[in-house]
Amino acid sequence: MTTQTSSPTTNPAVRKLEPATLWNHFADLNKIPRPSKKEERVIAFMRSFGESLGLETVVDDVGNVIIRKPASPGMENRVPIVMQSHLDMVCQKNADTEFDFDNQGIEMQVDGDWVAAAGTTLGADNGIGVAAIMAVLSASDIEHPAIEGLFTIDEETGMTGAQGLQGGVLNGQILLNLDTEDDDELTIGCAGGVNVTAVRSYIPVDAPAGTNGYKLAVRGLRGGHSGMDIALGRGNANKIMNRLLWGAASEFGISVAEVDGGGLRNAIPRESFALMAVDSDRADDFKAWVDSQANVIQSEYCQTDPDLQISVESLNQVPDQVVPKELQKSLLGCLYCVPNGIYRMSPSIPGLVQTSNNLARVLIKEGEIQIKNLTRSSVGSERADLANAIRALLELTQAEIEISGDYPGWQPEPGSAIVQLMSSLYQELFGEAAHVAACHAGLECGLLGKNYPEMQLISFGPNIRGAHSPDEKVQISSVQKFWSFLLATLKRIPTN
Protein backbone atom coordinates (compact mmCIF):
# COMPACT_ATOMS: atom_id res chain seq x y z
CA MET A 1 0.00 0.00 0.00
CA THR A 2 1.28 3.46 -0.87
CA THR A 3 1.64 5.57 2.26
CA GLN A 4 1.23 9.34 2.06
CA THR A 5 2.34 11.53 4.95
CA SER A 6 1.95 15.26 5.35
CA SER A 7 4.97 17.50 4.99
CA PRO A 8 5.72 20.97 6.37
CA THR A 9 6.54 22.14 2.86
CA THR A 10 5.01 21.28 -0.47
CA ASN A 11 6.95 20.22 -3.53
CA PRO A 12 9.37 23.16 -4.01
CA ALA A 13 9.00 22.90 -7.79
CA VAL A 14 5.38 24.11 -7.46
CA ARG A 15 6.48 27.29 -5.69
CA LYS A 16 8.85 28.12 -8.55
CA LEU A 17 6.09 28.13 -11.18
CA GLU A 18 4.77 31.33 -12.73
CA PRO A 19 2.83 33.35 -11.77
CA ALA A 20 4.72 32.78 -8.53
CA THR A 21 2.30 34.64 -6.27
CA LEU A 22 -0.65 32.51 -7.41
CA TRP A 23 1.18 29.18 -7.12
CA ASN A 24 2.58 30.05 -3.69
CA HIS A 25 -0.89 30.90 -2.42
CA PHE A 26 -2.12 27.60 -3.87
CA ALA A 27 0.68 25.73 -2.13
CA ASP A 28 -0.14 27.44 1.17
CA LEU A 29 -3.84 26.63 0.74
CA ASN A 30 -3.12 22.97 -0.03
CA LYS A 31 -1.34 22.59 3.31
CA ILE A 32 -4.73 23.13 5.01
CA PRO A 33 -7.11 20.13 5.20
CA ARG A 34 -10.45 21.33 3.76
CA PRO A 35 -12.99 18.56 3.15
CA SER A 36 -16.54 19.71 2.55
CA LYS A 37 -18.40 20.38 5.81
CA LYS A 38 -15.08 20.41 7.69
CA GLU A 39 -13.82 23.85 6.66
CA GLU A 40 -13.06 25.28 10.12
CA ARG A 41 -9.29 25.37 9.55
CA VAL A 42 -9.46 26.86 6.06
CA ILE A 43 -11.97 29.50 7.24
CA ALA A 44 -9.50 30.48 9.98
CA PHE A 45 -6.70 30.47 7.41
CA MET A 46 -8.61 32.85 5.11
CA ARG A 47 -9.62 35.13 7.98
CA SER A 48 -5.98 35.38 9.05
CA PHE A 49 -4.93 36.04 5.46
CA GLY A 50 -7.33 38.96 5.02
CA GLU A 51 -6.53 40.48 8.39
CA SER A 52 -2.78 40.19 7.77
CA LEU A 53 -3.25 42.44 4.73
CA GLY A 54 -5.11 45.01 6.80
CA LEU A 55 -8.25 44.44 4.73
CA GLU A 56 -11.81 44.35 6.02
CA THR A 57 -12.48 40.66 6.63
CA VAL A 58 -15.86 39.20 7.58
CA VAL A 59 -16.99 35.64 8.31
CA ASP A 60 -20.77 35.35 7.95
CA ASP A 61 -23.12 33.15 9.95
CA VAL A 62 -22.61 30.07 7.77
CA GLY A 63 -18.83 30.37 7.38
CA ASN A 64 -18.35 32.24 4.12
CA VAL A 65 -15.35 34.58 4.20
CA ILE A 66 -15.58 38.02 2.58
CA ILE A 67 -12.45 40.15 2.15
CA ARG A 68 -12.87 43.70 0.83
CA LYS A 69 -10.13 45.62 -0.95
CA PRO A 70 -10.55 49.23 -2.15
CA ALA A 71 -9.97 50.10 -5.79
CA SER A 72 -6.42 50.75 -6.92
CA PRO A 73 -5.52 54.42 -7.57
CA GLY A 74 -7.37 55.76 -10.60
CA MET A 75 -9.93 52.92 -10.61
CA GLU A 76 -12.26 54.30 -7.96
CA ASN A 77 -15.03 55.11 -10.45
CA ARG A 78 -15.16 51.59 -11.90
CA VAL A 79 -18.01 49.17 -11.23
CA PRO A 80 -17.30 47.25 -7.98
CA ILE A 81 -16.89 43.51 -8.46
CA VAL A 82 -17.08 40.24 -6.54
CA MET A 83 -14.44 37.57 -7.18
CA GLN A 84 -15.75 34.24 -5.94
CA SER A 85 -14.46 30.69 -5.40
CA HIS A 86 -15.23 27.92 -2.92
CA LEU A 87 -12.93 26.79 -0.13
CA ASP A 88 -13.82 23.10 0.13
CA MET A 89 -12.49 20.31 -2.06
CA VAL A 90 -13.57 16.84 -3.13
CA CYS A 91 -11.65 14.21 -1.18
CA GLN A 92 -11.03 11.10 -3.28
CA LYS A 93 -8.06 8.73 -3.26
CA ASN A 94 -6.96 5.54 -4.92
CA ALA A 95 -7.66 2.35 -2.96
CA ASP A 96 -3.92 1.67 -2.56
CA THR A 97 -3.14 5.17 -1.27
CA GLU A 98 -3.17 5.71 2.48
CA PHE A 99 -4.17 9.32 3.11
CA ASP A 100 -6.11 11.19 5.81
CA PHE A 101 -7.90 14.15 4.23
CA ASP A 102 -8.99 15.37 7.67
CA ASN A 103 -5.44 15.85 8.90
CA GLN A 104 -3.02 15.93 5.97
CA GLY A 105 -2.15 18.55 3.40
CA ILE A 106 -2.12 17.65 -0.29
CA GLU A 107 1.20 16.42 -1.67
CA MET A 108 1.70 18.04 -5.07
CA GLN A 109 4.02 17.13 -7.90
CA VAL A 110 4.98 18.73 -11.22
CA ASP A 111 4.75 16.53 -14.29
CA GLY A 112 5.69 18.43 -17.44
CA ASP A 113 3.02 21.08 -18.02
CA TRP A 114 0.78 19.76 -15.26
CA VAL A 115 0.52 19.83 -11.49
CA ALA A 116 -1.12 16.79 -9.87
CA ALA A 117 -1.23 15.00 -6.52
CA ALA A 118 0.13 11.60 -5.53
CA GLY A 119 -2.86 9.27 -5.50
CA THR A 120 -5.42 11.83 -4.32
CA THR A 121 -7.48 14.69 -5.63
CA LEU A 122 -5.43 17.86 -6.05
CA GLY A 123 -7.88 20.52 -4.91
CA ALA A 124 -7.36 22.67 -7.99
CA ASP A 125 -11.15 22.59 -8.05
CA ASN A 126 -11.54 25.25 -6.71
CA GLY A 127 -8.22 25.99 -5.02
CA ILE A 128 -6.70 27.60 -8.11
CA GLY A 129 -9.58 30.08 -8.12
CA VAL A 130 -9.09 30.78 -4.41
CA ALA A 131 -5.35 31.29 -4.97
CA ALA A 132 -5.99 33.67 -7.87
CA ILE A 133 -8.23 35.84 -5.69
CA MET A 134 -5.65 35.76 -2.91
CA ALA A 135 -2.99 36.86 -5.39
CA VAL A 136 -5.08 39.86 -6.46
CA LEU A 137 -5.94 40.82 -2.88
CA SER A 138 -2.30 40.66 -1.76
CA ALA A 139 -0.85 42.49 -4.79
CA SER A 140 0.23 46.14 -4.85
CA ASP A 141 0.84 46.40 -8.60
CA ILE A 142 -2.45 45.19 -10.13
CA GLU A 143 -5.03 47.62 -11.49
CA HIS A 144 -8.51 46.74 -10.29
CA PRO A 145 -11.84 48.22 -9.18
CA ALA A 146 -13.14 47.79 -5.64
CA ILE A 147 -13.12 44.06 -4.91
CA GLU A 148 -14.97 41.75 -2.60
CA GLY A 149 -13.27 38.38 -2.41
CA LEU A 150 -16.04 35.90 -1.62
CA PHE A 151 -14.87 32.49 -0.41
CA THR A 152 -17.82 30.14 0.04
CA ILE A 153 -17.99 26.88 1.95
CA ASP A 154 -19.44 23.44 1.19
CA GLU A 155 -19.91 23.88 -2.54
CA GLU A 156 -19.17 20.27 -3.31
CA THR A 157 -21.72 18.58 -1.03
CA GLY A 158 -24.63 20.97 -0.73
CA MET A 159 -23.74 24.54 -1.70
CA THR A 160 -24.79 25.56 1.79
CA GLY A 161 -22.40 28.51 1.72
CA ALA A 162 -24.00 30.02 -1.37
CA GLN A 163 -27.46 29.16 -0.05
CA GLY A 164 -26.73 30.86 3.27
CA LEU A 165 -25.26 34.07 1.89
CA GLN A 166 -27.75 36.80 2.72
CA GLY A 167 -28.85 39.55 0.38
CA GLY A 168 -27.47 43.00 1.07
CA VAL A 169 -24.06 41.74 2.23
CA LEU A 170 -22.26 42.24 -1.07
CA ASN A 171 -21.79 45.59 -2.80
CA GLY A 172 -20.39 44.31 -6.09
CA GLN A 173 -22.39 44.61 -9.30
CA ILE A 174 -20.45 41.99 -11.30
CA LEU A 175 -19.52 38.52 -10.04
CA LEU A 176 -16.52 36.70 -11.48
CA ASN A 177 -16.81 33.03 -10.51
CA LEU A 178 -13.45 31.29 -11.01
CA ASP A 179 -14.71 27.70 -11.12
CA THR A 180 -14.79 26.76 -14.82
CA GLU A 181 -12.39 24.01 -15.97
CA ASP A 182 -11.65 24.91 -19.62
CA ASP A 183 -9.61 28.00 -20.35
CA ASP A 184 -11.33 28.73 -23.66
CA GLU A 185 -14.79 28.76 -22.09
CA LEU A 186 -16.91 31.53 -20.64
CA THR A 187 -19.64 29.83 -18.65
CA ILE A 188 -22.92 31.74 -18.49
CA GLY A 189 -25.32 29.07 -17.20
CA CYS A 190 -25.38 25.75 -15.37
CA ALA A 191 -27.56 22.91 -14.17
CA GLY A 192 -29.29 22.68 -10.83
CA GLY A 193 -29.22 19.56 -8.72
CA VAL A 194 -31.03 17.54 -6.06
CA ASN A 195 -30.04 14.61 -3.83
CA VAL A 196 -32.13 11.43 -3.78
CA THR A 197 -31.27 9.17 -0.85
CA ALA A 198 -32.71 5.80 0.11
CA VAL A 199 -32.05 4.26 3.53
CA ARG A 200 -33.44 1.24 5.31
CA SER A 201 -32.46 -1.35 7.83
CA TYR A 202 -32.92 -5.10 7.62
CA ILE A 203 -32.29 -8.16 9.75
CA PRO A 204 -29.49 -10.25 8.23
CA VAL A 205 -29.95 -14.01 7.98
CA ASP A 206 -27.43 -16.81 8.27
CA ALA A 207 -25.56 -17.67 5.11
CA PRO A 208 -26.83 -20.91 3.50
CA ALA A 209 -25.05 -24.12 4.37
CA GLY A 210 -22.78 -25.67 1.78
CA THR A 211 -21.49 -22.41 0.37
CA ASN A 212 -18.11 -20.79 -0.29
CA GLY A 213 -17.27 -17.15 0.32
CA TYR A 214 -16.12 -14.81 -2.44
CA LYS A 215 -15.09 -11.18 -2.86
CA LEU A 216 -15.96 -9.42 -6.11
CA ALA A 217 -14.13 -6.21 -7.02
CA VAL A 218 -14.68 -3.57 -9.68
CA ARG A 219 -11.84 -1.06 -9.86
CA GLY A 220 -9.68 0.95 -12.24
CA LEU A 221 -12.47 3.12 -13.67
CA ARG A 222 -11.65 6.72 -14.50
CA GLY A 223 -14.52 8.26 -12.55
CA GLY A 224 -14.57 12.03 -12.72
CA HIS A 225 -16.98 14.91 -12.21
CA SER A 226 -20.57 13.72 -12.29
CA GLY A 227 -21.63 16.86 -14.12
CA MET A 228 -18.80 17.88 -16.44
CA ASP A 229 -17.78 14.30 -17.28
CA ILE A 230 -21.18 12.61 -17.38
CA ALA A 231 -21.39 12.94 -21.17
CA LEU A 232 -18.15 10.98 -21.64
CA GLY A 233 -19.89 7.65 -21.06
CA ARG A 234 -17.49 6.46 -18.40
CA GLY A 235 -18.34 3.38 -16.39
CA ASN A 236 -20.09 3.64 -13.04
CA ALA A 237 -18.71 1.08 -10.59
CA ASN A 238 -22.04 0.78 -8.79
CA LYS A 239 -23.91 -0.04 -11.99
CA ILE A 240 -21.27 -2.51 -13.16
CA MET A 241 -21.19 -4.24 -9.78
CA ASN A 242 -24.98 -4.50 -9.62
CA ARG A 243 -25.04 -5.90 -13.17
CA LEU A 244 -22.71 -8.67 -12.02
CA LEU A 245 -24.59 -9.34 -8.78
CA TRP A 246 -27.98 -9.43 -10.48
CA GLY A 247 -26.67 -11.80 -13.13
CA ALA A 248 -24.94 -14.04 -10.57
CA ALA A 249 -28.10 -14.15 -8.46
CA SER A 250 -30.11 -15.21 -11.50
CA GLU A 251 -27.57 -17.80 -12.69
CA PHE A 252 -26.21 -19.18 -9.43
CA GLY A 253 -28.52 -18.10 -6.63
CA ILE A 254 -25.75 -16.26 -4.78
CA SER A 255 -26.39 -14.66 -1.40
CA VAL A 256 -25.04 -11.12 -1.03
CA ALA A 257 -23.43 -10.26 2.30
CA GLU A 258 -22.00 -6.78 1.65
CA VAL A 259 -21.69 -4.17 -1.09
CA ASP A 260 -19.54 -1.06 -0.74
CA GLY A 261 -19.30 1.13 -3.84
CA GLY A 262 -18.68 4.73 -4.72
CA GLY A 263 -18.46 7.71 -2.41
CA LEU A 264 -19.34 11.35 -3.00
CA ARG A 265 -22.46 12.27 -4.94
CA ASN A 266 -20.61 14.53 -7.36
CA ALA A 267 -18.00 11.94 -8.31
CA ILE A 268 -18.62 9.14 -10.81
CA PRO A 269 -17.92 5.94 -8.80
CA ARG A 270 -14.58 4.33 -9.65
CA GLU A 271 -14.61 1.30 -7.34
CA SER A 272 -17.05 -1.17 -5.78
CA PHE A 273 -16.54 -4.28 -3.66
CA ALA A 274 -18.94 -7.06 -2.66
CA LEU A 275 -18.89 -10.15 -0.44
CA MET A 276 -21.14 -13.13 -1.14
CA ALA A 277 -21.83 -16.80 -0.55
CA VAL A 278 -22.01 -19.22 -3.50
CA ASP A 279 -23.07 -22.88 -3.55
CA SER A 280 -19.93 -24.97 -3.22
CA ASP A 281 -21.04 -27.28 -6.02
CA ARG A 282 -21.20 -24.34 -8.46
CA ALA A 283 -18.12 -22.43 -7.33
CA ASP A 284 -16.00 -23.22 -10.38
CA ASP A 285 -18.83 -22.33 -12.76
CA PHE A 286 -19.40 -19.08 -10.87
CA LYS A 287 -15.76 -18.00 -11.16
CA ALA A 288 -15.70 -18.87 -14.86
CA TRP A 289 -18.90 -16.88 -15.37
CA VAL A 290 -17.42 -13.81 -13.65
CA ASP A 291 -14.33 -14.04 -15.84
CA SER A 292 -16.45 -14.25 -18.99
CA GLN A 293 -18.60 -11.30 -17.90
CA ALA A 294 -15.46 -9.32 -17.09
CA ASN A 295 -14.23 -9.80 -20.65
CA VAL A 296 -17.57 -8.59 -22.04
CA ILE A 297 -17.76 -5.52 -19.82
CA GLN A 298 -14.10 -4.60 -20.33
CA SER A 299 -14.72 -4.77 -24.07
CA GLU A 300 -17.70 -2.42 -23.71
CA TYR A 301 -15.63 0.13 -21.81
CA CYS A 302 -12.28 -0.31 -23.52
CA GLN A 303 -12.37 3.22 -24.94
CA THR A 304 -13.63 5.15 -21.93
CA ASP A 305 -12.09 3.06 -19.12
CA PRO A 306 -9.16 1.04 -20.47
CA ASP A 307 -7.87 0.20 -16.97
CA LEU A 308 -11.13 -1.36 -15.74
CA GLN A 309 -10.47 -4.48 -13.65
CA ILE A 310 -13.07 -7.00 -12.52
CA SER A 311 -11.81 -9.74 -10.21
CA VAL A 312 -13.19 -12.48 -8.00
CA GLU A 313 -11.28 -14.16 -5.20
CA SER A 314 -12.06 -16.88 -2.71
CA LEU A 315 -12.42 -15.96 0.95
CA ASN A 316 -10.98 -18.04 3.76
CA GLN A 317 -14.42 -18.31 5.26
CA VAL A 318 -18.03 -17.82 4.26
CA PRO A 319 -19.65 -14.55 5.42
CA ASP A 320 -21.64 -15.27 8.58
CA GLN A 321 -24.76 -13.40 7.49
CA VAL A 322 -26.33 -12.25 4.24
CA VAL A 323 -29.22 -10.16 2.94
CA PRO A 324 -32.61 -11.95 3.03
CA LYS A 325 -33.44 -13.39 -0.38
CA GLU A 326 -36.62 -11.40 -1.07
CA LEU A 327 -34.96 -8.11 -0.13
CA GLN A 328 -31.89 -9.01 -2.21
CA LYS A 329 -34.10 -9.67 -5.23
CA SER A 330 -35.97 -6.36 -4.99
CA LEU A 331 -32.84 -4.39 -4.16
CA LEU A 332 -30.73 -5.70 -7.03
CA GLY A 333 -33.66 -5.35 -9.42
CA CYS A 334 -34.31 -1.73 -8.45
CA LEU A 335 -30.63 -0.80 -8.62
CA TYR A 336 -30.44 -2.38 -12.06
CA CYS A 337 -33.20 0.00 -13.18
CA VAL A 338 -32.01 3.22 -11.52
CA PRO A 339 -31.19 5.67 -14.34
CA ASN A 340 -27.52 6.56 -14.57
CA GLY A 341 -25.72 8.94 -16.90
CA ILE A 342 -27.44 11.11 -19.49
CA TYR A 343 -31.22 11.16 -19.21
CA ARG A 344 -31.93 13.90 -21.77
CA MET A 345 -29.89 16.20 -23.99
CA SER A 346 -30.88 19.83 -24.39
CA PRO A 347 -33.21 20.28 -27.36
CA SER A 348 -32.17 23.92 -27.72
CA ILE A 349 -28.40 23.96 -27.02
CA PRO A 350 -26.46 21.45 -29.15
CA GLY A 351 -24.15 19.18 -27.18
CA LEU A 352 -25.41 20.23 -23.73
CA VAL A 353 -26.59 17.56 -21.32
CA GLN A 354 -29.89 18.81 -19.93
CA THR A 355 -30.68 16.11 -17.34
CA SER A 356 -28.68 13.28 -15.78
CA ASN A 357 -28.36 11.08 -12.72
CA ASN A 358 -25.33 9.73 -10.91
CA LEU A 359 -25.83 6.57 -8.84
CA ALA A 360 -23.09 7.71 -6.50
CA ARG A 361 -23.12 5.45 -3.47
CA VAL A 362 -24.34 1.94 -2.66
CA LEU A 363 -23.67 0.56 0.81
CA ILE A 364 -25.21 -2.70 2.05
CA LYS A 365 -23.64 -3.85 5.28
CA GLU A 366 -24.54 -5.21 8.71
CA GLY A 367 -28.27 -4.62 8.41
CA GLU A 368 -28.09 -1.15 6.89
CA ILE A 369 -28.66 0.06 3.31
CA GLN A 370 -27.71 3.46 1.85
CA ILE A 371 -28.26 4.46 -1.76
CA LYS A 372 -27.26 7.98 -2.82
CA ASN A 373 -27.97 9.75 -6.12
CA LEU A 374 -27.29 13.21 -7.49
CA THR A 375 -29.85 14.26 -10.11
CA ARG A 376 -28.96 17.28 -12.25
CA SER A 377 -30.91 19.32 -14.79
CA SER A 378 -31.00 22.84 -16.15
CA VAL A 379 -34.80 22.50 -16.22
CA GLY A 380 -36.26 22.49 -12.72
CA SER A 381 -39.43 20.57 -13.57
CA GLU A 382 -37.46 17.85 -15.36
CA ARG A 383 -35.04 17.57 -12.44
CA ALA A 384 -37.97 17.09 -10.05
CA ASP A 385 -39.60 14.55 -12.38
CA LEU A 386 -36.49 12.37 -12.63
CA ALA A 387 -35.92 12.59 -8.88
CA ASN A 388 -39.50 11.46 -8.30
CA ALA A 389 -39.08 8.58 -10.75
CA ILE A 390 -36.01 7.38 -8.85
CA ARG A 391 -37.90 7.80 -5.60
CA ALA A 392 -40.84 5.73 -6.86
CA LEU A 393 -38.46 2.98 -7.97
CA LEU A 394 -36.46 2.78 -4.75
CA GLU A 395 -39.63 2.83 -2.65
CA LEU A 396 -40.21 -0.70 -3.98
CA THR A 397 -37.43 -1.82 -1.63
CA GLN A 398 -39.43 -0.45 1.34
CA ALA A 399 -36.71 2.12 1.90
CA GLU A 400 -37.27 5.59 3.31
CA ILE A 401 -36.59 8.17 0.59
CA GLU A 402 -35.31 11.69 1.17
CA ILE A 403 -35.14 14.32 -1.54
CA SER A 404 -32.92 17.14 -0.31
CA GLY A 405 -30.38 19.81 -1.14
CA ASP A 406 -32.24 21.15 -4.16
CA TYR A 407 -30.40 24.05 -5.75
CA PRO A 408 -31.44 26.00 -8.84
CA GLY A 409 -29.79 26.20 -12.21
CA TRP A 410 -28.35 29.43 -13.57
CA GLN A 411 -30.19 30.86 -16.54
CA PRO A 412 -27.87 32.24 -19.26
CA GLU A 413 -27.85 35.96 -20.10
CA PRO A 414 -25.61 36.08 -23.20
CA GLY A 415 -26.33 39.76 -23.77
CA SER A 416 -25.04 41.00 -20.42
CA ALA A 417 -22.31 43.64 -20.44
CA ILE A 418 -19.73 41.44 -18.70
CA VAL A 419 -20.26 38.59 -21.18
CA GLN A 420 -19.84 40.99 -24.10
CA LEU A 421 -16.74 42.59 -22.54
CA MET A 422 -14.98 39.32 -21.75
CA SER A 423 -15.86 37.74 -25.09
CA SER A 424 -14.34 40.69 -26.91
CA LEU A 425 -11.31 40.76 -24.64
CA TYR A 426 -10.66 37.03 -25.11
CA GLN A 427 -10.67 37.50 -28.89
CA GLU A 428 -8.29 40.43 -28.57
CA LEU A 429 -5.83 38.62 -26.29
CA PHE A 430 -5.79 35.15 -27.83
CA GLY A 431 -6.81 35.67 -31.45
CA GLU A 432 -9.81 33.36 -31.36
CA ALA A 433 -13.37 33.36 -30.10
CA ALA A 434 -14.13 32.11 -26.61
CA HIS A 435 -16.61 29.28 -26.22
CA VAL A 436 -19.57 30.98 -24.51
CA ALA A 437 -21.82 28.27 -23.14
CA ALA A 438 -23.80 26.76 -20.31
CA CYS A 439 -22.51 23.64 -18.56
CA HIS A 440 -24.01 20.62 -16.84
CA ALA A 441 -22.03 21.09 -13.64
CA GLY A 442 -23.49 22.84 -10.63
CA LEU A 443 -22.04 26.30 -10.06
CA GLU A 444 -22.90 28.61 -7.20
CA CYS A 445 -23.93 31.42 -9.54
CA GLY A 446 -27.56 30.27 -9.67
CA LEU A 447 -27.90 30.42 -5.90
CA LEU A 448 -25.96 33.65 -5.52
CA GLY A 449 -28.09 35.27 -8.18
CA LYS A 450 -31.28 34.58 -6.18
CA ASN A 451 -30.43 37.16 -3.53
CA TYR A 452 -28.58 39.44 -5.96
CA PRO A 453 -30.84 39.44 -9.03
CA GLU A 454 -29.29 42.59 -10.53
CA MET A 455 -25.74 41.27 -10.37
CA GLN A 456 -24.10 40.22 -13.66
CA LEU A 457 -22.59 36.72 -13.46
CA ILE A 458 -19.88 34.91 -15.40
CA SER A 459 -17.53 32.00 -14.73
CA PHE A 460 -14.10 31.14 -16.18
CA GLY A 461 -10.89 29.36 -15.16
CA PRO A 462 -7.87 27.32 -16.31
CA ASN A 463 -7.76 23.79 -17.72
CA ILE A 464 -8.43 21.25 -14.99
CA ARG A 465 -8.71 17.59 -15.91
CA GLY A 466 -9.96 14.65 -13.87
CA ALA A 467 -11.73 16.81 -11.28
CA HIS A 468 -13.36 14.85 -8.44
CA SER A 469 -10.96 11.93 -8.99
CA PRO A 470 -7.36 11.08 -8.02
CA ASP A 471 -6.43 11.85 -11.63
CA GLU A 472 -7.16 15.56 -11.08
CA LYS A 473 -4.52 17.86 -12.53
CA VAL A 474 -4.22 21.51 -13.57
CA GLN A 475 -2.25 22.77 -16.57
CA ILE A 476 0.56 25.19 -15.78
CA SER A 477 0.50 27.06 -19.10
CA SER A 478 -3.28 27.32 -18.85
CA VAL A 479 -3.03 28.89 -15.39
CA GLN A 480 -0.73 31.49 -16.93
CA LYS A 481 -3.28 32.15 -19.67
CA PHE A 482 -6.11 32.37 -17.14
CA TRP A 483 -4.11 34.77 -14.98
CA SER A 484 -3.39 37.12 -17.87
CA PHE A 485 -7.08 37.06 -18.85
CA LEU A 486 -8.14 37.79 -15.28
CA LEU A 487 -5.78 40.76 -14.94
CA ALA A 488 -6.89 42.17 -18.29
CA THR A 489 -10.53 41.81 -17.27
CA LEU A 490 -9.97 43.65 -13.98
CA LYS A 491 -8.29 46.47 -15.87
CA ARG A 492 -11.22 46.74 -18.35
CA ILE A 493 -14.11 46.74 -15.87
CA PRO A 494 -16.25 49.73 -17.00
CA THR A 495 -17.03 52.87 -15.08
CA ASN A 496 -20.16 53.26 -13.02
Q: What is the DSSP string of 100-148?
A: -TTT----EEEETTEEEESSB---HHHHHHHHHHHHHHH-SS-----EE
| Segments of the chain assigned to CATH 3.40.630.10 | 2-191+409-492
Q: Which bin fits 63, alpha (ψ -120 to 50), beta or left (φ > 0)? A: left
C-alpha 461/C-alpha 478 separation (Å) is 9
Is residue 155 among the annotated active site residues?
Answer: yes
Give 414-460 pLDDT, tens digit per residue. Answer: 999 999 999 999 999 999 999 999 999 889 998 999 899 999 999 99
Q: Considering the candidates 155, 181, 444, 471, report the single residue annotated as catalytic.
A: 155
- Tell me phi and psi for residue 459, to 5 degrees: -130, 140
Query: Residue 10 has what pLDDT?
Result: 59
Which one is catalytic: 39, 88, 107, 258? 88
Looking at domain 2-191+409-492, its CATH superfamily turns out to be: Zn peptidases (3.40.630.10)
Which pLDDT value is given to residue 349? 85
Predicted local confidence at residue 96, as pLDDT: 86
Give the CA count within 13 Å in the CB-facing half-sphere of 91. Answer: 22
pLDDT at 110: 96
* pLDDT tens readout for residues 335-359: 999 999 999 999 988 899 999 999 9
Please report, rounded to a whole number, the percentage of residues in the chain having pLDDT higher than 70.
Answer: 98
What is 194-407's CATH number?
3.30.70.360
**Could you give the CA distance from residue 104 to residue 424 in angstroms, rounded to a whole number?**
43
d(CA 404, CA 40): 24
Please report, for residues 246, 258, 315, 317, the alpha-carbon distance to residue 212 in angstroms, rounded to integers and kept in the order given.
18, 15, 8, 7
Find, among 245, 208, 449, the residue nearest to 333 by Cα: 245
Distances (CA, A) of 280 to 210, 241, 276, 300: 6, 22, 12, 31
How far apart (Å, rounded) are the C-alpha atoms in residues 55 and 40? 20
What residue type is assigned to position 57 of the chain? T
> Strand ranges (DSSP E) for 297-352?
309-314, 321-322, 341-345
Task: Evaluate if residue 129 carries a pLDDT over 50.
Answer: yes
The CATH 3.30.70.360 domain(s) of the chain lie at 194-407
Average pLDDT over residues 225-248: 97
**Cα distances (Å, whole numbers) of residue 120 to 22, 68, 107:** 21, 33, 8
Q: Global pTM?
A: 0.83
